[in-house]
Amino acid sequence: MVTFDEVGQRILIDRLRSFERLAGFAMPADYAQFLLTWNGGSPTPCDIAIADFPGGETDVRYLFGLDAELSSCDLEKGFLSLREELGPDVLPIGHDSCGGLFCIRARAGDSPHERVGAVSLVLFQFQEAFWYSVAEGFTEFLGMLTDLGDK
């Protein structure tokens, strides 16, 4: 079972709907419930194995929330500042310890990481984005978190 530390201030459904209007899409239901319950946080366990990712694993350092104290962990600010790089249908939802972004897809596209609700890890290197499929949805993503021990 995943638990969260450093959680955000509780938000109400009206705040979530306000962000959805700004973004232009509704959050996947399981991710919306996470925001209403935890509004971001640092998960335990935090390690995750990713099949096609170089090295095969990373961690989930923090999952973003709305109105976060740190602007670098604020869902709305991240969405607004990264929508040109990620696309208007992608929501950055968290980061790992090495600067990778976990993202969730709001509208479908053509490739496997472009299914509605799919979670991907995105790494930016030399002005290019590299996408790695992680999970079919947010609930599956949380279920993949584990303790991989010393690396």
Quickly count: other Cβ atoms within 10 Å of residue 27's Cβ.
23
Task: Tell me: pLDDT of 111 over 90.
Answer: no
Q: What is the mean pLDDT of residues 121-138?
A: 91
Q: What is the mean pLDDT of residues 119-148?
A: 93
For the chain, domain boundaries: 3-144
Residue found under tokens 């010393």: 150
Task: Tell me: pLDDT of 113 over 60.
Answer: no
φ and ψ at residue 77, rounded to 5 degrees:
-65, -40
Q: Would you state the pLDDT for residue 12? A: 97
Please provide the CATH number assigned to the domain covering 3-144: 3.40.1580.10
Q: What is the mean pLDDT of residues 88-111?
A: 88
Task: Tell me: pLDDT of 112 over 70.
Answer: no
- DSSP lists the bridge partners of residue 119 as 104, 135
pTM of the model: 0.92
For Cα atoms 61, 142, 122, give the angle at the middle one, nearest 5 degrees.
55
Task: Tell me: pLDDT of 90 over 90.
Answer: yes
Average pLDDT, the chain: 92
Tell me the per-residue pLDDT of 45-83, one tens digit each, with 9 for 90 and over.
Answer: 999 999 888 889 999 999 999 999 999 999 999 999 999
Q: Would you state the pLDDT for residue 126? A: 81
